[in-house]
Amino acid sequence: MNRSLLLKLLSAVIVFGAWEIAGRVPVSYAFPTFFESMYALGVMTFDGSIFTAYAETLKPLVIGVAISAFFGITIGLWVGLSNRFEWLFSPIFVVMQAAPLAALIPILVMAYGIGLTSKVFVVCIMAMPVIVLNTASAVRNTPASIKDMGKSFLASDRDIILKIVIPAASPVIFSGLRLGISAGFIGAILSELKITPTGVGDIITYSRSIADYPSMYAAIFSIIVLAVLFLNLLERTENYLFEGNNRGYVTD
């Protein structure tokens, strides 16, 4: 068995062990043990309620993340390539990133109602700024010498963007995507807690109200697992697309 897998397993055992012990102490009446939570997760899996919940939660999440990734990278490229766009867009996203989202939700609800639109907005507000700002700074920091190299070998502006700037920026764009998407997961749950309780947010709210803490923690646990799996998938995609990039720059 390889070493890194062993270490991952070991770290999981330590974390879950600590959780189990903390639950047994107990730290708080509202803090279930690891096994109780896993049992609750098992029950929800077998009666199918967790899948119905995710069918609901994934809607704003997937739409919001897709919009944020597409527009975030596009706008980020623009902002990074042109000073005028930086002027125009950068302040918006800096404000979006710093804004206390929970306080803005009532405004969104007044403007867009309590349906899917508002929830997608929440996901986008969480996910997009970091994607835009990372992409822009990555594009702006493309090493000057490889752009000069492109120019001296007769690259068109389009070649320079597609064959040099984007691949060179990809590690930072992907790290922006990772941060943005994890923020999007938070946004999706936040919107279900703050706007209307549906999906996983409903399980969390409902089980808390009836003091079924194992189910509540099982739902939270499941969303974390999903986020981790998704981020791993993203990392694999990145390594597949830009194989030589994962050891950094030659001149480093």
Partner 1 sequence: MSQTNDAFAKAVPLDADSAVSVRNVSKNYGDVEALKNLSLEFPRGQLTSLLGPSGCGKTTLLKIIAGLLKPDSGEVEIEGKIISSPGPDRSFVFQDFALLPWASVLRNVAFGLELRGVAKSEREAIAEKYIKNVGLTGFEKAYPHELSGGMRQRVGLARALAVDAQVLLLDEPFSAVDEQNRRKFQEDMLELVRGENKTFIFVTHSIEEAVYVSDQIAILLPRPSRVSEIIRPTSFRGTGKENIRRSPEYLDIVDEIWASLRNYVE
Residue 242 touches partner 1, criterion: CB under 8 A: yes
Residue 234 touches partner 1, criterion: CB under 8 A: no
Residue 136 or 168 with smaller CB distance to partner 1: 168
Is the separation of the CB atoms in 186 and 226 below 8 Å? no
CA distance 65 to 178: 11
Closest approach, Cβ 237 to partner 1, in A, equals: 14
Residue 86 touches partner 1, criterion: CB under 8 A: no
**Site map 128..157 versus partner 1, x via CB under 8 A:** ---------------x-xx-xxxxxxxxx-
CA distance 127 to 131: 7
Which of 88, 182, 193 has its CA nearest to residue 131? Answer: 182
Residue 235 touches partner 1, criterion: CB under 8 A: no
Residue 150 or 187 with smaller CB distance to partner 1: 150
CA distance 203 to 198: 8
Closest approach, Cβ 146 to partner 1, in A, equals: 5
DSSP string, 144-163: HHHHHHHHHTT--HHHIIII
Task: Extract the runs of DSSP E, i.e. beta strands, from 54-193.
Answer: none
Closest approach, Cβ 238 to partner 1, in A, equals: 11
Residue 117 touches partner 1, criterion: CB under 8 A: no
**Site map 158..177 versus partner 1, x via CB under 8 A:** -x---xx--xx-x-------
Which of 101, 100, 73, 58 has its CA nearest to residue 180? Answer: 73
CA distance 14 to 214: 20
Residue 248 touches partner 1, criterion: CB under 8 A: yes
Residue 31 touches partner 1, criterion: CB under 8 A: no
CA distance 177 to 128: 9
Identity of the amino acid at 118: S
Question: Residues touching partner 1: how many (CB under 8 A)?
Answer: 27
Residue 4 or 145 with smaller CB distance to partner 1: 145
Interface positions with partner 1 (CB under 8 A): 143, 145-146, 148-156, 159, 163-164, 167-168, 170, 242-245, 247-251
